[in-house]
């Protein structure tokens, strides 16, 4: 059941469909035959990201609804069409790139986990979108991931050069981007570009999202924020940020409830609680 789709400006119907499963928003992209991204898809997703700030939503999952494709890449025909009138193109400047950066930065900054299910080809903008999420679940199969833009004479312009370098290291990012390399899910796992591989990436992403959605939302949001914000700081400055974040997390009423639940247990039952309490099948 679709409960949160945004309409395209052109009125052609939504490209993204959103289903709520408990406290998890599951957004799937469908633009046959190739599942290319478009400017309309970017605008739709931007509206959805705003809606996902709702505290009732504890986690977000992104996936592809076209079998064998998450988001193949941005529609190259659309890029070419904007470049026909060179003077107008130059005068407009990199407007779409600013919009994409703003979208992906807002997605990345949500105070809840965002998980990408790479359940098919995921290149160009599709891979950049996945890099802006917190976890990437790859899927076994004859799929390709990566940033091949240089092969087309363009650059990854949606935060890809920066996020990939931070994820896999500068040397690996240089090799992948400058050589326009695409890679298999198994290679993605080996280099740390995905967290794990699954037979059904979307189903696995939903399991993980549900698990985290059952944890105290305040602590999850603060932990995510301090990990990302502190990584560019010195250890001393990062420690100060962590101390403040840890203090603020303890003020959350849900944290008090969870800690009280834990200490009420006999000592011999506490490890089992830590092991099982956050798992979807225990609720």
Marked catalytic residue, from 10, 78, 99, 149: 149
The strands making up 120-123's β-sheet, listed across from edge to edge, are 68-71, 120-123, 145-146, 182-183
CA–CA distance, 271 with 265 (Å, rounded to integer): 10
Query: Which of 44, 128, 190, 211 does the annotation list as catalytic?
Result: 128
Exposed/middle/buried for 231, CB within 10 Å: 0-12, 13-18, 19+?
A: exposed
* CB-based contacts of 6, cutoff 8 Å, min separation 6: 14, 16, 43, 44, 45, 47, 48
Q: Is residue 148 within 8 Å of residue 96, measured between CB atoms?
A: no
- In which residue are the tokens 């406290």 written? 23
Of all helices (H) and strands (E), which one includes residue 207? helix 201-213
Residue 87 is among the residues annotated as catalytic for this protein: no
What is the C-alpha separation between 283 and 280, in angstroms, rounded? Answer: 6
Instruction: Report the distance separating Cα 225 and Cα 221, nearest Å.
Output: 6
The DSSP output letter for 66 is: B
Give the count of alpha carbons within 13 A of 202, CB side only: 18
Whole-number Å distance between alpha carbons of 227 and 135: 14
Q: Are strands 59-64 and 68-71 parallel, antiparallel or unpaired?
A: unpaired
In the annotation, is 232 catalytic?
no
Residues assigned a catalytic role: 128, 149
């Amino acid at each position: 059941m679709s409960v949160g789709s945004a309409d395209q400006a052109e009125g052609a119907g939504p490209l993204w469909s959103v289903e709520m499963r408990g406290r998890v928003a599951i957004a799937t992209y469908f633009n046959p035959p190739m599942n290319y991204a478009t400017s309309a898809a970017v605008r739709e997703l931007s509206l959805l990201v705003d809606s996902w700030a709702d505290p009732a939503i504890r986690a977000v999952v992104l996936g592809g609804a076209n079998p064998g494709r998450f988001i193949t890449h941005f529609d190259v025909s659309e890029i070419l069409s904007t470049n026909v009138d060179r003077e107008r193109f130059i005068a407009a400047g990199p407007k779409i790139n600013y919009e994409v950066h703003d979208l992906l930065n807002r997605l990345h900054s949500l105070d809840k986990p965002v998980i990408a299910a790479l359940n098919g080809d995921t290149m160009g903008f599709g891979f950049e979108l996945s890099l802006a999420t917190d976890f990437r679940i790859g899927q076994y199969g004859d799929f390709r991931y990566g940033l091949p833009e240089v092969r087309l004479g363009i650059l990854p312009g949606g935060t890809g050069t920066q996020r990939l370098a931070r994820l896999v290291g500068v040397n690996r990012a240089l090799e992948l981007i400058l050589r326009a390399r695409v890679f298999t899910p198994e290679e993605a796992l080996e280099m740390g570009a995905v967290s794990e591989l699954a037979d059904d990436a979307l189903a696995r992403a939903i399991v993980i999202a549900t698990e985290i959605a059952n944890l105290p939302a305040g602590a999850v949001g603060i932990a995510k924020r301090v990990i990302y914000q502190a990584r560019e700081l010195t250890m001393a400055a990062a420690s100060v940020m962590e101390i403040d974040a840890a203090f603020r997390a303890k003020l959350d009423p849900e944290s008090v409830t969870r800690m009280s639940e834990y200490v009420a247990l006999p000592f011999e039952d506490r490890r089992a609680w830590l092991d099982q309490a956050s798992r979807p099948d225990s609720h």
